[in-house]
Amino acid sequence: MNKHSLRERKKLTVFLSLTAGILCLAMLAIAQEGAAVYQSPVASLVKLGFKFEGAKTCAAAECHGGTQEKPGKGLDSYTKWSGKDPHNKSFETLGNDASKKIAAGLNIPDATASDRCLGCHSVNAPANLQGAKFSLAEGNSCNSCHGPSEKWREPHAKEGWTNAQRKELGTHEALLTKWGLYDTKPLVYRAERCTSCHLAIEPDMIKAGHPQPIFELDYFSNPQVYEDRHWRDPDEKYFGAKQWAAGQVVSTRDAMKQLATRASGTADNEAIKSAYDQAMGHLTVFKDLLVASGIAAGDVAAQGENLKKAMAAMDKTQIAAAAKAISDAAAKSVDAVASYQPDKASAVKIMDAIATEAMAKDFGLHGVEQQAYGIYSLYNAYAKAESPGDAQAVNDTIAKLFDSLDKKAVSPDYDKTLADVTAKLPK
């Protein structure tokens, strides 16, 4: 893996600022009658009925508060999370001036005490499920991603216990139900934990000044991007491509849910357009994934065209219908994408297809985001596996795509840079 350029570091700073400043996100669902129902991503964990014990229960040096990793053990996970990980600042940011301004626009007296805000800024557990060391001030801590730790904290310290439970229980859902342990090893479930906040924001928040969050699983999981990342991924060929694919099927599904919910509710045209560009950015690269990998695409492409026509007419009923149809089609592809085993041929084919998409023209900054992230993730998976001699030069050119993201607008030079990138990509 090549080190990031300054441009990419700047892009990371922009993203982390957005992440740390995210106010009041909520997991969304679409009821059968089409009405929007927003639910905190913590709510599904609260329903398990286990206590949330807080990150401090993981902080002992012999547990996850150490200063270095050992093979197969994340002995420094708490140390890294409590250091540079922006998720541990998510509650703190609710008290800054920007958050106070957004809260005022939403008629929320105190964001740090609002159920609506705490769902994604902390582990908003009810009093009866708060363990002795529970603290809202920890922000998004261990329990946010790994589930309430009352049942699994002690047994999981035994080497091999988690893998044994995976084998015995067989499914992610069974592990969650019995122990309260949310298994982030399966990439689709990992992505779902992320998108439950990063791709589910209500339109009135956008109107109040909240930024539209962005997400791509592999790029923002990369150890060269996620500074002091507190977990390790398998050292296997094309793992980055596999992680990118799992992230895109979930992101397409949930970004389309977000769009359908806005279009079927009271969102203004600007909020709908923002959600549309984001959803179509994900859909476009997801479609390229399906075609290049040979996974059945169903009616994704056709519904994409229907969505474009409905958006051009700003027909909110048809926008919602087409977006929901795409979300449902993506959901049906989850298992197939989760089983996808990328190789040189498919990774190169997907990468080249993404590079030819007219993202800047069609979907603006949100389209450019997914194009740049996709090329970056897929090329680095290819470079790690194949060790081409020109990898650094190609990466330096790819890095220039991130200028647009740094500036929060599509650069006038973006298409020229994309052409330069395309010429250097493997064929």
Q: Following DSSP, what letter does each residue of 39-55 receive, concatenated?
A: E-TTHHHHTT---B--G
Size (the chain), residues: 427
pTM for this model (two decimals):
0.89
Residue listed under structure tokens 């996100």: 25
**Helix, strand, or coil here: 28?**
strand
| pLDDT more than 70, % of the chain | 89
CA separation for the pair 249, 338 (Å, rounded): 9
CA separation for the pair 147, 52 (Å, rounded): 8
Query: What does the pLDDT look like over 7-33, one tens digit per residue?
Result: 444 444 334 433 333 333 333 333 222
306's CB contacts (< 8 A; 6+ apart) are 318, 322, 325
How confident is the model at residue 317, as a pLDDT? 97
| Token digits of residue 261 | 């919910």
In angstroms, the Cα distances linking 32 to 36, 41, 148, 255, 264 are: 10, 20, 30, 18, 12
How confident is the model at residue 305, as a pLDDT? 93
How confident is the model at residue 202, as a pLDDT? 85
How confident is the model at residue 2, as a pLDDT? 45
How confident is the model at residue 73, as a pLDDT? 61
| Positions of the chain with pLDDT lower than 70, given as ranges | 1-39, 69-74, 298
CA separation for the pair 262, 375 (Å, rounded): 29
Q: Are 86 and 19 in contact (CB under 8 A)?
A: yes
Kindly write down the DSSP assignment for every residue of 187-198, as one continuous string.
HHHHHHHHHHHH
How confident is the model at residue 74, as a pLDDT? 66
C-alpha dihedral over 219, 223, 229, 231, to 10 degrees? 90
How confident is the model at residue 326, as a pLDDT? 96
C-alpha dihedral over 262, 266, 269, 271, to 10 degrees? -50
How confident is the model at residue 38, as a pLDDT? 52
Task: Provide the residue ranges of all domains of the chain, joining segments of one domain with +.
Answer: 6-21+189-424, 31-184
Query: Which residues lie across from 130 on neighbouring strands?
Result: 52
CA separation for the pair 399, 225 (Å, rounded): 13
SS3 of the chain: helix, strand, coil, percent, to 5: 60, 5, 35
How confident is the model at residue 213, as a pLDDT? 84
Closest CA to 351 of 384, 377, 330, 333: 377
CA separation for the pair 342, 328 (Å, rounded): 24
How confident is the model at residue 28, as a pLDDT? 30
How confident is the model at residue 17, as a pLDDT? 38
Other CB atoms within 10 Å distance of the CB of residue 414: 22
Q: Are 7 and 90 in contact (CB under 8 A)?
A: no
How confident is the model at residue 39, as a pLDDT? 63
How confident is the model at residue 10, as a pLDDT? 42
Residue listed under structure tokens 């800047």: 360
Q: Are 182 and 193 in contact (CB under 8 A)?
A: yes
CATH of segment(s) 6-21+189-424: 1.20.1420
| Token digits of residue 290 | 């399906």
